[in-house]
Amino acid sequence: MSDFATGDLVVCAALSAAAVAVLMVATWLIGRSIGRYNVIDTTWGLGFVVVAVVAFASSVGDGDPTLRAVMLAIVAIWGTRLAVYLAWRSRGKGEDRRYALMFERAEDSVARYAAVHVFVPQGVAMWFISLPVQVAMFQRAPGVIVPMVGVGVWAVGLGFESIGDRQLSRFVADPGHRGQVMDRGLWRFTRHPNYFGDACVWWGIFLVACGQWQGLLTIGSPILMTWTLVAKTGRPMLEHEMEARRPGYASYVRRTSGFVPLPPRS
């Protein structure tokens, strides 16, 4: 017997793609009905959980039981926490400013523009980034050391992301901080502790999938996630908005690392 169920993985990849497509369509319909499409932010975390569940069910009798359980657990914990936090943060609010600015480019239907420029790209990215999760589920003879290191990296990322989000939420909730720049706690060492944590989570998941050599083939997944956070829809869009709304943000940028936590510059 081969130590990797390639054929079954192909079937799983197709099922996962179908599940992501159904989830994106459902989220788009919800967004159209309530008049705001930032609901996709909540679906982002849940989508990975859905893929993990599909892969876990598809790999019954194929992959290593322990590795399958570990992968399902770490994806479910990360994805559920992120979804709950983003849903809580957006409660009672209108459309996210990032999406509102994007939709100003729509020449006809905002719903169509959102589908083509937001939901389809995010669905494709979700499926591609989830490849380490799918591959790991079908590994029959994984090693131990590299996956253990991966769980450690994942734990660091989850902690960084969770603590950063908690610190920011408490800062924003204080009326005395209105108009100020959050530069305390983890935010003193990096302007984006949540994004840095997110990247660590997915590099950790990638390492968990590297218990066998097939996992190495999915290295594009954490690279895409990191690039998206650092150079695409994460840091650039947020910082452009913050510079326009916070007078002291430019000074904060000059003294604080943009991604990797470092001591602040004097």
- Helix axis angle for 193-208 and 145-173, nearest 10°, is 160
Q: Is there a single domain that holds both residue 1 and residue 132? A: yes
> What's the domain range around 64?
1-141
Which amino acid appears at position 95 of this protein?
A: E
Question: Are the CB atoms for 221 and 128 separated by under 8 Å?
Answer: yes
Question: Are the CB atoms for 84 and 122 separated by under 8 Å?
Answer: no
Residue 100 Cα distances to 37, 112, 113, angstroms: 9, 14, 12
Q: Is there a single domain that holds both residue 154 and residue 111? A: no
* pLDDT confidence band for 2 (50 / 70 / 90): low
- Calculate the average pLDDT of the chain: 90
Chain segment 178-213, per-residue pLDDT in tens: 878 888 999 999 988 999 999 999 999 999 999 999
Q: Is there a single domain that holds both residue 113 and residue 182? A: no
Q: How many domains does the chain have?
A: 2
41-64 mean pLDDT: 95
What pTM does this model have? Answer: 0.91
Chain segment 119-178, per-residue pLDDT in tens: 999 999 999 999 999 999 999 988 999 999 999 999 999 999 999 999 999 998 888 888
* pLDDT confidence band for 65 (50 / 70 / 90): very high
Q: Is there a single domain that holds both residue 123 and residue 148? A: no
Question: Are the CB atoms for 143 and 212 separated by under 8 Å?
Answer: yes
Q: Is there a single domain that holds both residue 45 and residue 136? A: yes
Q: Is there a single domain that holds both residue 123 and residue 23? A: yes
